[in-house]
């Protein structure tokens, strides 16, 4: 195995782990929502922080899962033409796509989110609702605004390396 292959493998493993770990939160969302409903309709008790935790997990799931989804090629494509392209052609599309779209978008998202996240930590932000999620849950959630572009950009690197290898091999 050459260097590029090891790097791709490492990135893929990291993002796969993150995705599979985050996926457990989908089950937790179902169970917690069920509990919230039972508490409300059976025991007439509304637990705001519990309800907010479902939204929290939902956001964490799709932000932290973005790279994993990219790795498994499950971000939907308009594949009218892509479907019938050669491996080589596809590699060109993927390479160009990461360089022109994915990396700039990730860079921009991470860069604009940085201050937004830093402010939230520095003021010790908590939920605006009485009885909502306490500090540090809100800043933690905002931090995924930086983590998502970072992990997705890393997965982009894996795609770039793989596409280059594809182009080098399939002459």
- Rounded to the nearest 10 degrees, how much is the dihedral formed by the CA atoms of 126, 132, 133, 138? -40
Q: What is the distance between the alpha carbons of residues 92 and 166, in angstroms, rounded to a whole number?
A: 9
Question: How far apart are CB 30 and another protein at their closest, in Å?
Answer: 4
13 lies in the site for another protein, by CB under 8 A: no
30 lies in the site for another protein, by CB under 8 A: yes
Residues 5, 9, 13, 24: which binds another protein (CB under 8 A)? 24
Any idea what DSSP says for residue 83? G
Most distant CA atoms of the chain, gap in Å: 68
Residues 11, 53, 91, 145: which binds another protein (CB under 8 A)? 145
Binding mask of the shown chain, residues 114 to 133, with x at each position contacting another protein by CB under 8 A = --xx----------------
3-state SS class at 161: helix
Any idea what DSSP says for residue 102? I
- The token pair that represents 105 in the structure block: 């978008």
Task: Let me know the angle formed at the C-alpha of 153 by 147 and 158, rounded to the nearest 5 degrees.
Answer: 130
Q: Which stretch binds another protein (CB under 8 A): 5-13, 42-50, 76-84, 162-170?
A: 76-84
**Where along the sequence are the contacts to another protein (CB under 8 A)?**
19-20, 22-24, 26-27, 29-34, 36-37, 54-55, 58-59, 61-63, 65-66, 68-70, 72, 74-83, 85, 90, 93-94, 96-97, 100-102, 104-105, 108-109, 112-113, 116-117, 141-142, 144-145
């Amino acid at each position: 195995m050459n260097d590029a292959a090891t790097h791709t493998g490492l990135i893929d493993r990291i993002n796969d782990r993150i995705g599979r770990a985050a996926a457990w939160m989908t089950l937790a969302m179902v169970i917690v929502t069920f509990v919230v409903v039972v508490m409300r309709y059976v025991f007439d008790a509304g637990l705001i922080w519990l309800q907010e935790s479902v939204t929290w997990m939902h956001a964490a799931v799709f932000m932290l899962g973005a790279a994993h989804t990219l790795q498994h090629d499950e971000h939907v494509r308009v594949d009218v033409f892509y479907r019938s392209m050669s491996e080589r052609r596809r590699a060109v599309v993927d390479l160009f796509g990461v360089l022109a779209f994915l990396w700039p978008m990730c860079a921009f998202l991470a860069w604009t989110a940085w201050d937004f996240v830093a402010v939230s930590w520095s003021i010790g932000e908590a939920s605006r609702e009485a009885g909502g999620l306490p500090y540090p849950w809100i800043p933690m959630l905002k931090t995924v605004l930086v983590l998502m572009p970072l992990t997705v950009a890393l997965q982009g690197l894996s795609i770039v390396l793989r596409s280059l290898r594809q182009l080098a091999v399939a002459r």
